[in-house]
Structures are given as C-alpha cells and as structure tokens.
Amino acid sequence: MCVYILDLETMLEVLTYHRRTGVLSADLPSGGPMLKEACHLEIMVDRGKVRSCSITDQNGHVLMENEQALQMIKSLGVIRWRLSESAKKAALQELPATAAARSSAGVPRRLVHLGAEHMASWPRLYRSVYALIDGQTSLERIARMLFVMPGVVEQVISDLRSIRVVDMD
C-alpha cells in the first residue's frame, strides 16, 4: 500500500501518468464547512481512469457518489491518500465473459445473522457486502450498489463462505 499526501487533481494526474489500478481511499475526521461527520473516501481507479467514487459515513452508508463525490473531494484540498493495488488490481480488470456470467448467476444468502461487534474487525467492503446480502439481491446487483466490479464482490463472498456466514443459492 502506498501513501500520498496530495490534492485529488494531482493524485489523479499521478495515477493517470503511471496507469495505476487500485483503490484510492482516505478517512477524514468531522469538522469544517464541508464535512459535518467523519467519512471515508473511496475511488476505484483502472489504469489511471476513475471508474467509481463514493463518500460514505462511518456506518458505510453512501453520502455521495461518482461525479458529485468527485467535486466535493476536489474542494477539500490536500488529503492523505492510501493506494491499495495488490488485493484489488485483478478484480478491477475487465472480467472474462464466463466469470461475469458466473458471478451474476448466484444469489448470496446469510447463514447466520451477526451483530456489529462480530464484524468490527472486518474490512469496510466486507461489512457492506454482508449488510446487503438478503437472500434476494444478486451478486451483480450488490456490486452495482457498491460501485465495484462483480469480481470484487465474488471474492468477498468467497471469503465469507469460507468462514461459513454466507452461502450462494
């Protein structure tokens, strides 16, 4: 994971120049005229191009997304960014047609209902995916709701299946 302390426009120029792929994220405390509460910024970048952007609150609820979120982030000035490439780089690449079809075919369902205290150590994405699993929403729909590639959600669900908290129908 790389850390950068730059404004968004400069950060995106660096990523574009180097054609980097990954997840650009930052956690911001509350305060100031723009942010009434602490929030998490996340930008999915594929070979230097922004694919999605979101601002979420501490509970993972989306406050702003895509163009509106980008404009807000640009107005914040210099931010301490984290760029995570290794875990999500492959998932952000275009999926082969067979993998995409396999991903969207299943509907995940919970095997157990966990409270927040049980998920406290989970990454934000895992908590978000788990929260959206209701036995009716497809894997592909969950990916669209979270603005991530289906392969990312497929990997999260695979990990959650390995600890026996969800399964696929």
User: Domain ends where: 89, 119, 153?
Assistant: 89
**Confidence check: pLDDT of 87 > 50:** no
User: Are 62 and 75 in the same domain?
Assistant: yes
Check: CB of residue 7 under 8 Å from CB of residue 77.
yes
Task: Say if residue 8 is in the same domain as residue 77.
Answer: yes
Residue 168 maps to a domain: no
What's the confidence (pLDDT) of residue 32? 59
Instruction: Tell me if 169 is assigned to some domain.
Output: no
In whole angstroms, how far apart are CA 151 and each of 5, 22, 72, 103, 164? 29, 14, 28, 7, 20
Is residue 152 domain-shared with residue 73, that is, in the same domain? no
pLDDT given for residue 35 in this prediction = 66
* Residue 95: band (very low, low, confident or very high) from pLDDT cuts 50, 70, 90: very low
**Cα–Cα distance for residue pair 158/164, rounded to 1 Å:** 10
- Distance, in Å, from the CA atom of 63 to the CA atom of 36, rounded to the nearest integer, reads 11
pTM: 0.52
Mean pLDDT to the nearest integer, 111-131 = 88
> What are the tokens at 93?
């690449």
Do residues 42 and 75 both lie within one domain? yes
Q: What stretch of H or E contains 46?
A: strand 39-46
pLDDT at 102 over 60: no
122-167 pLDDT tens trace = 888 999 899 999 999 999 889 888 888 888 898 899 989 988 999 9
User: Do 159 and 101 reside in the same domain of the chain?
Assistant: yes
Please check whether residues 39 and 114 belong to one and the same domain. no
Residue bearing tokens 């995916």 = 129
Note whether 84 and 58 are same-domain residues: yes
Range of 35's domain? 2-89
In a domain, 154, yes or no: yes
Round to whole Å and give the CA distance between 53 and 41: 8
Give pLDDT tens digits for 29-79.
Answer: 876 556 678 889 999 888 888 888 998 887 778 888 888 889 988 888 899
Determine the pLDDT at residue 133. Answer: 92
pLDDT single digits (tens) 2-39? 888 899 998 988 888 888 888 899 988 876 556 678 88
Domain count, the chain: 2
Burial of 26 (0-12, 13-18, 19+ CB in 10 A): buried
Which of residues 70, 89, 108 is at a domain's end? 89
Q: Are residues 84 and 156 in the same domain?
A: no
